[in-house]
Structure formats: structure tokens, C-alpha cells
Chains A and B, each alone.
Chain A
């Protein structure tokens, strides 16, 4: 596992958390589709990479899972945010916003000069 994957997994985890926050309870496939849609189909996710990320979040206690039935009557494992997950999301979202804001200052051309 190189650094790249770690960074990717970090952002993926944030996306998953955010998706679950807005959608409530959702199965893996749904999460993957939702992430793609939200990104305006810019992100093309290899769905398989989602599952280790979900497992990691579950091990850390950020999400919980439960078997249930999908809208078209298929058995599926549903994930939902826990209280810890909600806090983690808030904190990581804040961190991320900060990081992007800082980066944005570096990357946008200075206008007032």
C-alpha cells in the first residue's frame, strides 16, 4: 500500500461519509453510484475499491452495516452513519475545506497586484 492509495482512500472515505450523511442508509452499490453522480460523472470509480474502504470505516466505528432489502426487492447490505462517523465527517470536512482553501490561495492568480 503506497502513499497514493492512502490519500485516495482518505478522500474516498470522506465521500462515503458525506454520501451516507445526505442519503441516510444505503448499500455499497448505491454509494458507488451516488459518488459518481455527485461528482458529475467526472470520477470513474472502480467499484471494487469501495469495499475495503467501507470495511475500514466500519472497523473504526464510523459506519454500521445491516442486511436489508433494496427498493427492487434484492437482499443487500446497508450502511449508515454512526454518531462517531458524524463527528468524524464534520472534523474531516472542516480539515479538507481548510486544506483546499489554502491550496486555492496558492493556485489562483493574485488579482490585487
Chain B
């Protein structure tokens, strides 16, 4: 122990000595001088002559310089000293050739910044575990149906699932909810959720203030308590410490705040919810197995795998299907990791972008490596001389490594800075509604994972940069070089290595450009998909009627009519209509239908259902194909009517006229029978990428809702109308909640699918563009160097009568070969690579010929431009000058 301490102490002092070496030198000189004087004094006393006395003292000391050298080696760290020499030399070299250094550092910075920034997102979304206790044991549990895949769970089913399963330690549910909150600006809708009592404890979350829900607090008739998020506490209640026990009025009912969730709490599946109330499932829906409005989360029992849990839930769902065929036919179970439910949709995009940025980094590294190669070529003599003067092979290699390290260090410093900036920029560009669904992106930055990533990248690139020149500088060559003088056979080996690197660069550029092209075309196709309505000049708004003021259908119909009337009178509004669900949102919110007078096999015909006002289709500019649209007359006192879309007519009434036919619920309850009065065009109800499915539309006055959307056709820009809507509605009744005044085009463009496609297309496009630039620069470098090396050869050729045109041909052929190889290899690689993109493409095949051809053409043109400059220089060589220069 003691010994280790002593050695460490000595090391530390030596390290200090390394920095104050000048002072050390002076001190030692003084000490040695005093030593010599003392010794000389003694010798004088012994009777020597002054000259002898001094001389003997020096001999006995063994030489001042030798002593100093030994002393210095002990006094500082010789290794560090050599390192500093290498560093100083490297810095001097890099400064002597600033264009090389700047280009190399910039190129590398670009690669590091791009890949690190993307890695930051990958880390935040895919690597970092969800912020719950043992997140790996959490599962998302829902029903599974043919129309939508994973779909909501009904309350009676949930109770059965919870009771019968043995695979979950706990199974809890949540459902979205909006609350009307009275603020200074009138009633506003605030997002909330209702959850079963064990929801937070299943996640492993404890409130930072107050308490969690007690067991049984979620049954109907339980206390009206609510837990709020940290953000709601700060923004709605000013962060007051006595918030627990405080009463708050939500949608006209009084709730008591019993807890505040920790600041770090996030739940992506209901990202924006501020108020979390106990489920307390009441009403007609809670009793009905066919009313699906819940989402489940569960914690697996110890030792139970996800597959086992899935198998048991499937079995339970099958039991329920047999028990309740009417309501549970075709209602399977889905059990997936909670993380999959949260990030499953962006995983392929993030991984694709990571791969793209990795390829860009590869191009950047190869580019810098070939620049270093060019330089090492020019420094062959320098190294030969140093070798001949006795520098060890190791010392020469160390010089390369030091130079490489310096480049990498500078680029890492710049790269980390720009990566941080890029991350901040990108995460600020994420729209708020998107960020609510991706809370894990909040607080993205340079964390430990990113630093480890950068470290790994820098070690790899440093290895590449040190290895390439080392491979070039084999011992044999070092010896031969001095005698040989300068140029000759070796440049051929270099040219070969350099050319290979350029071919690789071009191939990678092709892959990136093809990927970017495909994603760009997907985005184009996605945004121009047939909607069967005119999305521009549509203003939209969410409306929530307070349930305690509007209790029956007649009241709801009356106030809604009043709202439409008021809003239609606003300047700039041509027509106003109501729908229960906006188009281009989701195929969810469905009904099970059955046709009167047809055999029924009990298999559910599940179709999206929308409650709309009479002028809905005319407002949207959706064509009526047959029959009629709804009228004000289709109200609760008249026979029920329905409008179907074209897809439904085609699928269920091929070769028949559906008008006048009847459909109803699965039991054909007389109260559910409706007559088909019209067929409309296939209005896009689901998200942009989804398929058109058969759908039904009911008159709002025959099937009311207290939460719906207003859609207004405007004569001027939507933006001029949007701000006036809420005030107009509050004039009718200040108790009505409004939110999300947005134009239809904005809703479509900001929808998750459009956003993700746009993000990936733009980023991939950026990577592709940079790859194009870098690979062209790389090609230029190789050709320019080759021309430089062959100056004399070209001179001789021209002296012997070669035409300028043939010199152009010579050089352009060389470049053309490289370009053709690169493009061909890249095309092959991209055929393989883009297959991985398949899931992210929309309306375009991975082997899109037009894109492949245009990428090949683009690269060929840029290769031609990149090689034209050196070719021109080659052709302008004056034979006499070239020959004389030797």
C-alpha cells in the first residue's frame, strides 16, 4: 500500500515536472554548480591547482550534460515528452497545410455530428428503458380484431380477463378522457384519463405528493378523486404546496386532488393527460361487452414469459367467444411488450436513419483516409529521411497515430457540439402533439450512451486513419524510398488502394441516394393519396358539451343546431357541419352491422361509423354517388336512415342497388334497423396510409354525441377564421368546451404518419446529398492526385504528339471506370438494402426503376464534373515545363 502511494506520488510530481521543465533545469544547474564548487574547494585544500581541482571535480561528477539527462528522465515522464514532440510536430504539419486539415476536420465533423445526433434519438427511444420499475416485465394488453389489429377492450371483458388469468401479477386499464376545466379563458378541454386502481402501482410509479388510488377506489360510486401530473400542478395550480385535498371542478363534477405525479412521469400511450381519475365504469357502455373503450397494461408474474401470457390470454378470449358469441365473436387477445406499443411505430424509421447516418460517417471516414493517403504519399521522403536518421519504425507509426488522433479529437470536439445543436433543433421541430406521444424525446441530449458511441466511433476512425498510412509505409518501402528518390512504382499501389476507396464511397452514395429517393417518393405519394374530399379551406375544432347541461338527445340536437347556425354566420365561413370523428384520423369507432333479409353466419361485419350533420358531405366536397344526403327532417322521430360509402356498396351489394335496403345491429333489434338512403364516395376515414374500408354514416340527430368536431368550409384562409370560433361558441353557451382549432390540411400534414414520413424523407435526403458531395470530392481527390503523379507521363505523351483530346480521354476514362464500378456496385447493394426499407415505403416499390436510373444519372454527372477539373488541368500541361521539372 505504502509503496503504491509512494509510486503514485512520484508519478504525480513527475507529471508536474513535465509542465515546469524550465524551472527544473535552472534549479539542477544551480545545484550541480554548487556541487562542483564544494568539490573544487576540497580539491584546492588538498593542494591541487585551480585548473586541476575543477577538472577532477568534473571527472568525478561524470559530466554535467549526462547528469542532467539522467536527472531529466527521472524528473519528468519521457513518454509524455515524446508525445508532446509528436503532437507539436503534428500540429505544425496540420497548420502548414490548412486546406487539408480544414477539409478533413469538417468532413469528419459532419459524419460524427450526423451519426451522433441520430444515435441520440435512437438511444432515447429504443435503448433507454421506459421510466418504470422493471419495464421489461410490462406488457400492453388489448383485444385483437381483423379490421384494426390491436383494439380496445370492453369493461366486462376486462373484468373476466383480470379474474381468469394467472400470468399477470396485475392487469390494469386506462381510457382517454377529456375534462372541461373552468379557467379565466372560459371552459377549456383538458386531456385526462380514467384508470383502474392499480394502474400506477403496476407501472411502479408513486405520487411525489399525496397518495396513489386505494384498492377498490375505481368501482362505480367510489369517491371522486383525481391525481394530477406535475405539469398540471405547476400550470393549473401554480405549484401550491397544499394542493392535496384541494377541490377541483372537472366537467361540472367536484373532484378532490389526492396526489401529484412525479415530474419524471410519462405515459406515451396517453401522453397529454393532465388529470388521472379512477375508472368507475358506469353507464350503458360499462355493461356492454361490445362497447370497447379500454387499453390494458400488465406486469408479468415472475417466471412467466410473454409468449405464455399471450397463449393464456388467447385461451381466455376464446372461452369468452364461446360464452358470448354475439359480442365476442372474432375478439382475440394481444399481448406485446409495453415498449413495443410505445416505440414500435418509430423503430424502423430510427434504425433506417441510424443506418443512413452510419453510411454517411463511413463515407466521411473513407474520404479523410484517402486524403491522408495522398498526404502520406507526399511525405515518403520525409519518413525515409527520419528512418535513415535513426527514428524507430514504432516512432514513425506513432507519428501517424498522433496526427490521426489530432484530427479525430478536433472533429469529435466540433462534432459533439454540432450533434448537441442538431438534437435540440430536431427535437424542437417535433410538433407538440407528436411530442406528447413521444415523451421519451424530452430532455434529449448528450448522455453517457452518446459519449460511449462517440468514443467507439473515434477509436474506429482513428484505427482506420492510422492503419491506412501504416499499411502503405511498410518497412521495405521505407528503406527503398530514399535511394529511389520520389515517384515511381509505388504510386500505382497507392492509386489502386485509393481507387478502391473511391469505388466504395460511390457505392455507398448510391445506396443513400436511392434510399432517400424512395422515402421522398413515398412521402410524395402519401401526401397526394386520394382523399375523396377537398382538404384545403377547411377549419376544424373539437367541441365538448357539458353532460350535466345537455342530458337528452333533443337537448343535444337543439344546441348543436344552434352552434352550427352561429358558426355559419361568422365572416368567411361558407358552411359548417358536424362529425363524430374527423376524416383522415383512424378507422376506429366502429359498429357491427348485419343486412336485413340475408343469411348471417354470426361473423362480425365491423365498419367505421360516423355521426354527421346533413351538410357534412357538401361541406367536405365529397361526391354523392346515388340516393340522397341527410336532411334536417331525418331526426329522432323519423325512421332511421343510413348513408354508406362506395366500398360498402361494392362489397356487400355487387350488381344490386343498395338504396332502400335495410341494415341493423347483430341481433336485428327493430330499434336498430336503418334504411340505406344514399351512397357517397370513399371518404378517407383512416390515416393517410390506411386502406379504404366499408363505412357507414348516421344522421347526427338520430345518433347523438356530446363530444364531436365542427368542420367549416371557409372562403378565405382557415387561419383567419380559426381564432374567431371559440368565442362564437362561447357566446351560445360559455359552458361548452372547445379545443384544437386547426385547419384540416394542418391536421393531415401533422398527422403522425405524414410527420414520420416527412422526417425520414428529409433526413435521408440530407444524408444522400452530403454523400453525393463527399463522394464527388473523393473522386476529385483521387483523379487530381493521379494527374499530379502522371504529369511527366502526360508531358512525354504530348511531346510525342498526343492531342489534348486524347489526354482528356485518358483521364476521363480512368474516372469513368471508377464511377461505373461505383455506380454498378451501389445499385446492386441498394437492391439488397432497400428491401429492408419495404415496411416504410408507401405506394412505391423498393426496386423503383425511375429512382435507380435518376440516381445513377445524378452520380454520373457529378462524377464527370468532379473529374473534368483535373482532366482540364492535365490537358493544359505544357510538355516542356513538365519534362523540365524533373
Contact = CB atoms under 8 A, between A and B. Distances in A.
Interface of A: 27-30, 33, 46-49, 51-52, 55-56, 59-62, 70, 72, 74-77, 84, 88
Interface stretch (B34-42, B164-172, B273-281): B34-42
A51 B61 CA distance: 10
Interface of B: 6-7, 9-10, 13-14, 28, 30-32, 34-35, 37-39, 41-42, 60-63, 66-67, 70-71, 73-75
B7 to A, nearest CB: 8
Contacts of A70: 38
Given A60-B10, A74-B34, A55 B74 contact: yes
B10 A75 contact: no
A52 B35 contact: no
Given A59-B10, A59-B13, A60-B6, A49 B38 contact: no
Contacts of A88: 6
Nearest to B65: A48
A29 B67 contact: no
B74 A48 contact: no
A51 B70 contact: yes
A29 B10 contact: no
A73 to B, nearest CB: 10
Contacts of A28: 31, 35
Nearest to A55: B74
A30 B37 CA distance: 12
Given A33-B42, A56-B74, A77-B30, 10 more contacts: A28-B31, A29-B38, A46-B61, A48-B62, A59-B10, A60-B6, A62-B6, A74-B41, A75-B30, A76-B34
B10 A52 contact: no
Contacts of A52: 67, 70-71, 73-74
* B contact face: mostly helix, strand, loop, or mixed: helix
B32 A51 contact: yes
Nearest to A87: B2
B45 to A, nearest CB: 9
A47 B31 contact: no
Contacts of A49: 62, 67, 70
Contact of B66 (A27, A48, A62): A48
B38 A59 contact: no
Contacts of A59: 9-10, 13-14, 74
A51 B71 CA distance: 7
Nearest to B27: A77
B71 A47 contact: no
B10 A48 contact: no
Given A51-B32, A52-B71, A29 B62 contact: no
A55 B41 CA distance: 25
Contact of A46 (B10, B28, B37, B62): B62
A59 B10 CA distance: 5
A10 B566 CA distance: 101
B34 A77 contact: yes
Nearest to A45: B60
Nearest to A77: B31
Contact of B9 (A46, A48, A61): A61
Nearest to A72: B41
Contacts of B10: 56, 59-60
Contacts of A55: 71, 74-75
A75 B34 CA distance: 6
B69 to A, nearest CB: 10
A43 B66 CA distance: 21
B42 to A, nearest CB: 8
Cβ-closest 4 pairs across A and B: A48-B67, A48-B62, A59-B10, A52-B74
Contacts of B28: 51
Contacts of B73: 52
A29 B70 contact: no
Nearest to B38: A29
A81 to B, nearest CB: 15
Contact of B60 (A27, A47, A72, A84): A47
Contacts of B38: 27, 29-30, 70, 74, 76
A74 B6 CA distance: 33
Contacts of A74: 34, 37-38, 41
A15 to B, nearest CB: 17
A29 B38 CA distance: 7
A33 B45 CA distance: 15
A46 B60 contact: yes
A37 to B, nearest CB: 12
Contacts of B31: 28, 51, 76-77
Contacts of A61: 6, 9
B39 A29 contact: yes
Nearest to B72: A52
Contacts of A51: 28, 31-32, 67, 70-71
Contacts of B35: 27-29, 47, 76
Given A55-B71, A59-B13, A60-B9, A27 B34 contact: yes
A1 to B, nearest CB: 8
Contacts of B66: 48
A28 B38 CA distance: 10
